[in-house]
Amino acid sequence: MTSLILADNLPQTSGRFGRSLRAELRNVRTTRGTRWALGLTAALWVVVGVGVAVIALLVDAESVSISGALLGMGAAVTVFVPILAIFIMAADWQSRDVLTTFALEPRRHIVFLAKALTAVVVCTVLVAVAAVLAVVFTAGLAFAASATIVWNADAESIAVLLWSAAVGTVSGVAYGAATQRVAIAIVFSLVQGFVIDPLLMLIPHGIGSWFRLTAITDAGSGTGGIGPALTAGLLWLVVPLAIGFARNQRADVQ
């Protein structure tokens, strides 16, 4: 009997989740703050990627490296991907939209999962589009300067870029969910990346490296260990996600 009830509930739950996911994806396009963050993030990634290519061209006027452009863009990914994910997770809590969201879907865990998946989808698509644009603009720069294009973007470079984007996305989801305030989450994300992580490096005997968020990225690129990555992941990703999920379930909607 129980199995039959669960089987009957599966299509309904799937339909609810699909409806919430479509609504969240639509909000990315229609919400002004998220739309501006989306456009600004993509533009800055392309500018950084092309800027690295320009610098490389000034150093070596005979060739332009595609890998350099992608890695330059990857450096910007770790900063701006969390901000976009924060907007997706937390923007509704600062407006009346949250009333509509939970009125249409009272099962809060479905809304939480839909927002998280929306952040993953949007950030993945944005990274792919920005990478293509960076390659196109770099090729155009090489053509204009009569330089040779060096197609040295190997699988490892692309994997590092995607892994950095994934870590940034999850951290943005975690911080946005935990704070439910866009400004607070963005400030925390920037402080964590530019202040806390560097300060942890000053702790003697390498103890601080076990608690740096970048330890996760280092492990993905092969320059760091699994132990520090797991510790940092628990501290900076799992704990905020758990707090955010609990707050999502219990917070007053006003």
Which of 4 and 89 is assigned the larger pLDDT? 89
pLDDT in tens, 130-151: 777 777 777 777 777 777 777 7
| Contact yes or no for 77/44 (Cβ under 8 A) | no
Which pLDDT score, from 0 to 100, does residue 64 have? 72
Which of 166 and 154 is assigned the larger pLDDT? 166
pTM of the full structure: 0.83
- pLDDT over threshold 90, residue 241: yes
| Contact yes or no for 172/86 (Cβ under 8 A) | yes
Which pLDDT score, from 0 to 100, does residue 153 have? 64
* Percentage of the chain exceeding pLDDT 70: 85
Which of 248 and 53 is assigned the larger pLDDT? 248
Query: Rounded CA gap, 63 and 61, in Å?
Result: 6
Query: Rounded CA gap, 141 and 33, in Å?
Result: 32
Q: Which two tokens stand for residue 175?
A: 């911080």
DSSP code of 193? I
Q: What is the dihedral of CA 82, 183, 190, 215, to 10 degrees?
A: -50
Q: How confident is the model at residue 10 (pLDDT cuts 50, 70, 90)?
A: very low
Query: Rounded CA gap, 89 and 174, in Å?
Result: 9
- Over the chain, what is the mean pLDDT? 82
Across residues 92-103, what is the average pLDDT? Answer: 81
The lowest-confidence range among 33-42, 103-112, 211-220, 225-234 is: 33-42
155, burial (CB in 10 Å: exposed 0-12, middle 13-18, buried 19+): exposed
pLDDT in tens, 176-187: 999 999 999 999
Which pLDDT score, from 0 to 100, does residue 3 have? 39
Which of 136 and 10 is assigned the larger pLDDT? 136
